[in-house]
Structure 1
Amino acid sequence: MEPFRLGGTMTENSARNPHTEALLTLAAAMFRYSIWPSLGVGVVGVVVFGLINGMPGVLGAAIGAALAIGSSMLTLFLMRKSAGAGPHIGMAASLGGFILKLLLLLLIMAALKDVEALHRESLGITMVAVVVVAAAADAMAFRATKLPTIIPAGESTSDS
C-alpha cells in the first residue's frame, strides 16, 4: 500500500529515485508545518483589522490571507508535480512558478486597487505577515525533515 502524500500518491519511479522521494517528503512536511500557522495568522489579521478598520479591514485582511496561503499552496503543488522530472525541471518549475505567482499577484492587486470596500493596508500587512510565517514554517520543515541536500548518484534514502 502506498503512503498518502500531499497532492496524490507516490509513483513507481518516485519510490526508487531519492531526489523525488526527498522532494515529496519535503513538500508534505512543508504543508504540515505551514498550513495551521498561516491560517492562524490570517484569522488574527482578519480579527485585528476588523476591530481597527471595520468591514473593509475584514475584507482586506481576508483577501490578503487568502492570496498568501494560495501562493504557498501553489508552490507546494509545483513541488509535487515536478518532483519526478529531475532536479533541472524542478528548478525550472520553481522559477516559472515564482514568476507566475508574481504576475498573478500583480494583476490581482491592480484589479483591487480601486475597490472601496476593502482596506488596502489591512490586505498588505496581513499578506506579508502570512508570507513571512509560511516561509519560516517552510524553513523549520526543511530542518526537521533532516533530508540530505546532496544525494550521491546510485544511493537511495532507504540505504541510510
Structure 2
Amino acid sequence: MSETSEDLTHAGMVRGLAGAMFRGALIPTVVTVVLGVVVFGVLYGVPGALGALVGGLVIIASSLATLWLMHRTAALEVHFVMAAALGGFMLKMLVLLGVMILLRDVEFLHTNSVAITMIATILVAAAAEGRASKRSKTLNVIPSTAAEPS
C-alpha cells in the first residue's frame, strides 16, 4: 500500500483514522445490536426486539455522526478539530438523553431493552473504535526543545 502526500497531511490522517475506526467498529457493533434484538425478543417478545433494535440503531447513528464530524473537520486547524470534537460529544450526549426521555413512554417499545442495548452498543462501539485507533498508523509529532530553529 503506497502512501500519497494527502495521506501524510493532518486532514489525511484524521480521515484515515475515521475510516479505520468505522471498519473496526462495524462488525462488533452490528453483532451487539443483533444479539440485543434476539435476547430481548426472546425475553420480552416483539416490544423487546423493537426496543433493542431502536436503541441499537440510535447508537449506530450516533457513532456514524461522530465519524462524519471527523471527516468534515479534518481540514481545519487542530484546535478547531478538538473544539468540534468536544462540541459534538456534548451535543451527542444531549441528543441521546433526549431520545431516551422521548422513548421511555412509547408503548410498543420495552424501555429496558432500549436502554440496555444502547449501553451495550455504546460500550462496544467505543472499545472497537479505540482499538482501531490504537492499531492505525498515524504520525505522532513529539516536540523537542533541543532542536529549535534559528
Same fold (TM over 0.5): yes
Q: Kindly indicate whether the alpha-carbon contact (under 8 Å) linking 1:18 and 1:151 is maintained by their aligned counterparts in 2.
A: no
Which segments of 5 or more consecutive residues in structure 2 lack a partner in the other structure?
A: 144-150
Aligned residues: 141
Instruction: Give 1:149 deviation, angstroms.
Output: 3.5
Distance 1:140 1:79 in 2: 17
Which segments of 5 or more consecutive residues in structure 1 lack a partner in the other structure?
A: 4-13, 153-160
Q: Please tell me the root mean square deviation across aligned C-alpha atoms, in Å.
A: 2.0
1:158 maps to what in 2? Answer: none
Aligned to 1:15, what secondary structure does the other structure show?
coil
2:90 maps to what in 1? Answer: 99
List, as ranges, runs of 4+ consecutive aligned residues in structure 1 with deviation greater than 3 Å: none
Which of 92, 115, 119 is the matching residue for 2:106? 115
Counterpart amino acid of residue 53 in structure 1: Y
1:19-98 maps to which residues of 2 (within 5 A)? 19-98=10-89
Counterpart amino acid of residue 134 in structure 1: A
Distance 1:77 1:16 in 2: 18
Residues 42 and 16 (structure 1), Cα distance of their counterparts in 2 relative to 1, 3 Å cut: closer
Distance 1:89 1:79 in 2: 11
2:126 maps to what in 1? Answer: 135
Distance 1:126 1:150 in 2: 39
Distance 1:125 1:69 in 2: 14
Distance 2:121 2:14 in 1: 23
Q: Kindly indicate whether the alpha-carbon contact (under 8 Å) linking 2:48 and 2:110 is maintained by their aligned counterparts in 1.
A: yes
Instruction: Give 1:144 deviation, angstroms.
Output: 1.4
Instruction: Give 1:148 deviation, angstroms.
Output: 2.9
Distance 1:140 1:71 in 2: 18
2:138 maps to what in 1? Answer: 147
1:32-60 CA deviation, whole Å, 9 max, x = no partner? 00011101110010011000010110111
1:43-81 CA deviation, whole Å, 9 max, x = no partner? 010011000010110111001101111111010000000
